[in-house]
Amino acid sequence: MTPLSELIMLFLRLGFTAFGGPAAHIALFHDEVVKRRRWITEEQFMDMLGAVNLIPGPNSTEMAIHIGYERAGWRGLVAAGVCFILPAALIVGVLAALYVQFGTTPAVESLLYGIKPVVIAVVAQAIWGLAGKALKNNLLRAAGVAVFVLALLAVGEIPLLFGTGVVVMLIVAARDRLPARDAEAGGWVMIPLLAQAGAAAVPVSLGTLFLTFLKIGAVLYGSGYVLLAFLQTEFVNTLGWLTQQQILDAVAVGQFTPGPVFTTATFIGYVILGVPGAVVATLGIFLPSFVFVWATRPLIARLRSSRWLSAFLDGVNAAALALMAAVTVTLGRAALIDLLTLAIALVAAVLLIRYRVNSTWLIIGGGLVGLVRLALGA
């Protein structure tokens, strides 16, 4: 079997079976390509992991693309990425078609009634787990608080992410040139308040759909959960194409299917414009990842050793975490509508944080609670 065919078989299988989100995906990749097959060394794997944290896009998908590039050149780059994305996109597309046809039936509404609170808990658990790493000093904590407040005031995600990264990088550079006491005085970061255009319905088109997801894929730092904030801003607040409920439904589907969480874009594209919408949305959000991996691969060692780029990434990560927190507050208002949904979210959060239960099982459980509620006539 050639290296290319080996890649195709491995990543097709992982695309159908890799549940649990980006961290779980990367752990699976490590087991398969470092421990079992010995395609790359531990050091190479860590270099790739460091690189994907410095570029926008879905980390686990970019790891797959890096592995493919290392194993079989540019053909491997394309094959590994496509084979990891395609199974999840097909599954999500089928679920989107069922959602469009049956989404307003009592059974589907009840299923989503129980799933949405679990999605809120999953995002809250991700915030809990990432907070220690993302907010590791007073400067980054201050940046996080500022971004959280500005996000609730409807400032756009892109200026907040890049603005925070640049400001933190400049402060770190200034500290390198100032005495320690003076540097401490600059601990609080001020982020410019950039005006956000008011929500206005925009005509639906494939071109706008593609460009919107291309923009998201090109600038989205952090985990797949940060995607929530972008979807809310772009498709609810700016374009007016979806409701908050539809965003939650899309994220719920992305959570309990295998493969990249970013295939949420496939679901949204189908809901808006059917099969053509699903195709262009999927292409738009994933295309930048292939370009970034190809372009940055020769620079991996330099990126990882740069103090300024590391500071920029620290600022971006702090902003990403704050955006996740802000969108959780917003979406929580739509998902936690009574005592039962609040109880589902709390139980799911405890099971995730304390007992590390796989989120897929919790989402299935939440859906079953919703169906039982329907059967009991509640």
CA distance 186 to 247: 39
Give the pLDDT band (50/70/90) at residue 373.
Answer: very high
Beta carbons of 209 and 284 less than 8 angstroms apart: yes
Beta carbons of 320 and 134 less than 8 angstroms apart: yes
- Angle at which helix 157-175 crosses helix 138-152, to 10 degrees, equals 160
Is 0.85 surpassed by the pTM of this model? no
Q: What is the mean pLDDT of residues 311-318?
A: 82
- The model's pLDDT over 74-120, given as tens digits with 9 standing for 90+, comes to 999 999 999 999 999 999 999 999 888 887 667 777 887 888 888 78
Taking the alpha carbons at both ends of the chain, their separation in whole angstroms is: 57
Q: What is the mean pLDDT of residues 175-188?
A: 54
CA distance 310 to 289: 20
